[in-house]
Amino acid sequence: MSLNSKQKIIAAGIIGNIVEYYDFALIGFLTIIMGKLFFPSNDTFVSILGSFGAFAAGMIMRPIGAAVFGHIGDRVGRRFALMTSLVLMALPTFMIGLLPTYEQIGIIAPVLLVLLRMIQGLSVGGEYASSIVYLVEQSTTNRQNLYGSFVSIGAKIGMALGSGFCGTLFWYLGDDAMLEWGWRVPFLFSIVIAGTGLYLRKNLTDNYQPHQTRSIPIVEIFKHHKKLFIQFTLVASVIWMFYYTIFIYLPLWLEQSVGFPKDDAGFINIVSIVAGVIFIPLMAMAADRYGSFEVMKSAAIATAAAILPLSYMIVHGGFTEAVIGVAMIVILLCAYQAPIFAAVVNALDHKGHRASFTALILGSAAGFVGGATPALMTLLVKFSGNLYMPAYLIAIFSIVAFAVLRQIEK
């Protein structure tokens, strides 16, 4: 495969995740504004919870999208699934930028927001897994973890674009203008990224040939691979709880619970994204060399041991200590996440079931667990009064993930 061909495959594979996580960054960065505009309340906590609820509604649709697009990917082809999911993902993001607010049309505003988030969730459920399967299958045997990890790199690039764009707009326009009209700009800009994605995928290379069979991949998975499906879903759920805590909930936690100014919290969030872009491929290369399960097991134990001390360092140290602490937590997350992609795809030898298997596992983990994580962490910290509840939860479930990974290996 020529370098140019490799670059085209990688770019086409990750562009959808750039769009997807660009939108997630907007939701995270604009949580307070979106809460005020679409879920107004005298209690800021209620407004924030409403905004995270809209986020969760979209995420809950991911398993349904995973089932639909996983089936399309297995029975029709990877390329068709990737093209369709990108279009269905980009349009709702753009349309959010055109929505009237609660003040303008009342209760219909948050209803429309939730509906658009649900359409996004449906398409994202297929996009994420389809691109992972596509990249792993297009890679060489000794680079499958690296190629699979490019999906997460695309996600970090999307997060960086969204956070950086919002941060620049806040700096240039100010809080009042952002609340009045500036919040719409990053949503409307998403159509430019989506257009780039469609161009990259126009002549997508796809070597997969669908199997001529009447069997339904999802049925076959639950008939013959039910235990393996449950095990991988448990591990993926822990990883995605960790992921959405860091990249969606963390900026709010730093600002409202720990007490950092908005600018400092935003900078730390950008540092976390940059660290993710750097260490995801490094951890993937380690997994290609030492094995996916060895790297994930080491990450699970290290996370269980280190997450609480690092959280303490963030809370009680200064700005520099917080930056270092968050960066170290992101490195743990990268070691956890980088190997999961190729591990799930390669769990089944039958290529005709891979897209459905991967989509259902990652869609369920991200949708049910990841989608609920920001709201769950917000509630836990609010009602317990304990800043470290997210760290406790991640530590406990990391031990569970370690035990399940050992079972899968046997």
- Tokens linked to 382: 């609010």
Angle separating helix axes 44-60 and 373-384, nearest 10 degrees: 150
User: Which parts of 61-204 are beta strand (E)?
Assistant: none
Distance CA 398, CA 189 (A): 38
Per-domain residue ranges for the chain? 3-203+214-409
Q: Is residue 239 predicted with pLDDT exceeding 90?
A: yes
- List all residues 6 or more positions away from 155 whose beta carbon is below 8 Å from its beta carbon: 17, 18, 20, 21
Span 256-280, average pLDDT: 86
For the chain, the straight-line distance linking the first and the last C-alpha, in angstroms and rounded, comes to: 35
Q: Which residue has the higher pLDDT, 350 or 281?
A: 281
**Per residue in 115-167, pLDDT tens?**
888 887 777 777 777 788 888 888 888 889 998 888 888 877 887 888 888 88
Tokens 């991200």 belong to 366
Instruction: Name which of 30-44, 163-177, 190-204, 380-394 the model is least confident about.
Output: 30-44
Residue (of 249, 268, 229) closest to 372 by Cα position: 249
Contact 38, 102 (CB under 8 A): yes
Give percent of the chain with pLDDT exceeding 90: 30
Q: Is residue 290 predicted with pLDDT exceeding 90?
A: yes
Q: Which residue has the higher pLDDT, 297 or 118?
A: 297
Output the pLDDT for position 367: 75
Contact 364, 231 (CB under 8 A): no
SS3 348: coil
Output the pLDDT for position 43: 64
Q: How confident is the model at residue 4 (pLDDT cuts 50, 70, 90)?
A: low
Contact 344, 357 (CB under 8 A): yes
Phi first, then psi: give them for residue 380, nearest 5 degrees: -60, -45
User: Number of C-alpha atoms within 13 angstroms, CB side, residue 182?
Assistant: 18
Q: Which residue has the higher pLDDT, 353 or 287?
A: 287
Domain over 3-203+214-409 is classified CATH 3.40.50.620: no
Q: How confident is the model at residue 212 (pLDDT cuts 50, 70, 90)?
A: low
Q: Is residue 2 predicted with pLDDT exceeding 60?
A: no
Q: Which of 38-47, 153-162, 201-210 has the highest mean pLDDT?
A: 153-162
Give percent of the chain with pLDDT exceeding 70: 90
Q: Centre a 10 Å sphere on the Cβ of residue 383 and count the other Cβ atoms it contains.
A: 9
Residue (of 348, 305, 350) closest to 328 by Cα position: 305
Q: What is the mean pLDDT of the chain?
A: 84
Phi first, then psi: give them for residue 30, nearest 5 degrees: -105, 20
Distance CA 364, CA 236 (A): 9
Distance CA 371, CA 114 (A): 13
Q: Which residue has the higher pLDDT, 222 or 329?
A: 329
Q: How confident is the model at residue 205 (pLDDT cuts 50, 70, 90)?
A: low
Q: How confident is the model at residue 16 (pLDDT cuts 50, 70, 90)?
A: confident
Output the pLDDT for position 370: 81
Output the pLDDT for position 3: 43
Between the alpha carbon of residue 64 and those of residues 84, 89, 125, 347, the distances in Å are 15, 14, 7, 21
Span 25-29, average pLDDT: 75
Span 95-109, average pLDDT: 88
Output the pLDDT for position 209: 65
